[in-house]
Amino acid sequence: MLVAKEAPTTNRHLLSWVDEMARMCKPDRIYWCDGSDEEARLLTEEAVTDGVFIPLDPAKRPGSFYSRSNPNDVARTEELTFVCTPTKAEAGPTNNWMDPEDARRKLAAIYDGAMKGRTMFVIPYLMGSPDSPFAMLGVELTDSIYVALNMRIMSKIGTVALDRLGGSNDFNRGLHSVADCDPERRYVTHFPQDNTIWSVGSGYGGNALLGKKCLALRIASYRAKHEGWLAEHMMLLEAESPEGETHFIAGAFPSASGKTNLAMLVPPPEFAGWKLRTIGDDIAWMRVGDDGRLYAVNPEFGFFGVAPGTNYHTNPNAMRMLEHDCIFTNVALTSDQDVWWEGMDAPATDLIDWRGKPWKRGSKEPAAHPNSRFTAPMENHPALSRYAKDPRGVPITAILFGGRRSTTVP
């Protein structure tokens, strides 16, 4: 079992808030994440012992693990996601709104004692390069070791974040608890005025990894509106022509519509001589630079992608990226401890499906959940742009816009 550590900070604002949240949630112990490799090893061992992780075959996928979520908790809950501003108009026309006081009262009742018997993980984290003036700092409190290990991939956690915070009170306060994972008691709430996120009742990535959609997109977009920049749901790529001319392209597409495949595209034969490299596949922070050009950074440090449909034809770079040190969630498991999902070559044997049940070849039911995911470190990517973590960002040449249609566009 992990041993609770003394708080590695003297920041009175942070210590006071952690104490206040702990008194509400009542965890058995508090563990402060430092982001070290040794800590990652210990957390992973604990996750395996607790049955949260299943190790995959180290010969096939070294350093990789398989995980299942509750079957009622497999996607973002947009209908239960709220922006809690003083007035409904401030939340914007595309967001659900809840009065801030009503939201705090409703969620506090669910949080009360929700972490009894559990560990509260304190995860200081940075979205954006540590040496970038645009990086945003948050602290997530969670009772999910799955969240702690995924946040380690998707952000920079631990000491690097605390060093940047120092004694400041300027950090996002994120509280997350799986609680009883009851869909009737599931909420993801954002309080932009207070730089606060409260999420309860879900362990799914988009609802639980608070640095991703919650901070880097929703809270960031509110902050950007008031500070004169943009936080966008966009991929970023570097395109180098045969003549050596480099362009940086942004692309706005909804989830599961090819954004990741485009960001990781291998040039087809018709574009021989072109080189495409990935900067990011999901979120872009954009600012006008001193030279008048639009610059963009990817604030994430990993890829949290949809697995089904990903294969060596649609996204060979992603498949190579997934060969080691990844987390797979709600895909199917093979008899030899590897992963499988729809879109890959037909399995050689029967499988264990995403619910943990036997799956026969030829079954009409999907073996992997349609929204099953992989979490992969950015460093795994075989065609990662050298500009991926440029603290200033890259100058955008063009922005592509796309969407999903059930039929052809007239």
pLDDT digit string, tens, across residues 235-253:
999 999 999 999 999 999 8
Domain assignment of residue 39, yes or no = yes
Distance between CA 135 and CA 161 in Å, rounded?
10
Same domain, 111 and 21: yes
Mean of the pLDDT values across residues 96-105?
98
**pLDDT (mean) for 168-172:** 98
Query: What's the total number of domains in the chain?
Result: 2
Residues 106 and 16 placed together within one structural domain of the fold: yes
- Judgement on whether residues 250 and 224 belong to the same structural domain of the protein: no
Domain encompassing residue 100: 12-53+76-228
Q: 178, 198, 228 — which closes off a domain?
A: 228
Q: In this structure, are 192 and 168 located in the same domain?
A: yes
Residue percentage of the chain with pLDDT more than 90: 93
Smallest CA-to-CA distance from 173 within 158, 156, 157, 192 is with 192
Q: What is the pTM of this model?
A: 0.96
Q: Do 244 and 322 share a domain, yes or no?
A: yes
Burial (CB count within 10 angstroms: exposed 0-12, middle 13-18, buried 19+), residue 400: middle
Residues 185 and 287 in one domain: no
Give kind and range of the element (H or E) at residue 127.
strand 119-127
Buried b (16+ CB within 10 A) or exposed e, 135-145: bbbbbbbbbbb
Using one digit for the tens of pLDDT, what is the confidence trace for 254-297?
877 889 999 999 999 999 999 999 999 999 999 999 999 999 99
Q: Does the structure show a pLDDT above 70 at 408?
A: no
Please check the confidence at residue 169 and state whether its pLDDT lies above 70: yes
Assess whether pLDDT exceeds 90 at residue 3: no
Do 147 and 179 reside in the same domain of the chain? Answer: yes
Residue 337, domain member (yes or no)? no
Shared-domain flag, residues 281 and 402? yes
pLDDT greater than 80 at residue 187: yes
* Residue 127, Ramachandran bin (φ over 0: left; ψ between -120 and 50: alpha; else beta): beta
Q: Does residue 164 lie within any of the structural domains?
A: yes
The 10s digit of each residue's pLDDT in 297-345 is 999 999 999 999 999 999 999 999 999 999 999 999 999 999 999 999 9
- Average pLDDT score over residue span 383-406: 93
* Residue 282, in any domain of the structure: yes
pLDDT category at 410 given cuts 50, 70, 90 is low
Residue 1's pLDDT is 66
Residues 176 and 200 in one domain: yes
Q: What is the pLDDT of residue 403?
A: 82
Neighbours of 11 (CB within 10 A): 20
Examine residue 357 and state whether it is found in any structural domain, yes or no.
no
Which CATH number characterizes residue 296's domain?
3.90.228.20
Q: What is the CATH number of the domain that holds 134?
A: 3.40.449.10
Last residue of a domain, one of 197, 213, 228: 228
Confidence of residue 409 (pLDDT cuts 50, 70, 90): low
- Whether residues 385 and 281 share a domain: the answer is yes
160: part of which helix (H) or strand (E)?
Answer: helix 159-165
DSSP letter at 342? B
Q: Which of these three, 174, 196, 228, is where a domain ends? A: 228
Q: Is residue 7 part of a domain?
A: no
